[in-house]
Amino acid sequence: MTNILNLPSFFDHTNLKQDATEKDIAKLCQEAIDHKFYSVCVNPHYVKLSVEFLLDTNIKLATVIGFPLGMNKTETKLQEALLAINDGADELDMVVNIGLLKEHAYTKVENEIATIRKNMPYNKILKVIVESSQHTDIEIVEATKVVINSCADFIKTSTGFFGGATTNAVQLMNQRANGQIKIKASGGIKTMTDCQKMINAGASRLGCSASVAIMQEQMNNK
């Protein structure tokens, strides 16, 4: 099992609920501080507020772009990205145009991702959500290739709104990536067993709203 001291560094501690309040975001950020999670992930509306809560900590701040459908115009996603970075976001989790992926219009998808990446500061992280549950194995492999070619930093399995991560999807991504890009598993990760399966399959980051409960589970199992 993953060492208790290392597991927190995998978590993007997440609250992307549409009814999340300022109190909920304050709680999310404090939990990340208390457990030393890698980052928090919030909706764009709460980026500035989260910056205040995380001030003088090492916790990174992530937000979402084109979320959750991915069907915004590229220009809209770019403006979202630039606004989020200006507000203080360290990492962007962007949903690609899933329809274009299903049409196998891979050049168009690659161009969209590359447009966002090249207009971001080099020290900011771009994760690309491909909604793996909506694709065949071959399409997952092709999507991974597209994300690598676009020079993004991570490929991410899911928004969590339309199906979650599977070990099969993460393994396929990992095999195709061959170390060229990192993998974030997200959606439906609720237990230590889920975490271990995703990490063993090749994930180096976990998007999770159950992070605190998982840490408590591991503490209870020590």
Query: CA quadruple 139, 141, 146, 147: dihedral positive or negative?
Result: positive
In the set 77, 127, 182, 184, the catalytic residue is: 184
Report the b/e string of 181-220 with b at 16+ CB within 10 A: bbbbbbbbbeebebbebbbebbbbbbbbbbbbebbeebee
Neighbours of 28 (CB within 10 A): 24
Whether 56 is a known active-site residue: answer no
Q: State the Cα angle at 198 between 81 and 103, rounded to 5°.
A: 55
Whether 184 is a known active-site residue: answer yes
Whole-number Å distance between alpha carbons of 114 and 116:
5
Whether 108 is a known active-site residue: answer no
Q: Closest Cα partner for 207 from 215, 198, 216?
A: 198
In the set 93, 127, 182, 194, the catalytic residue is: 93
In the set 156, 182, 194, 197, the catalytic residue is: 156
Point out the residues that are catalytic: 93, 156, 184
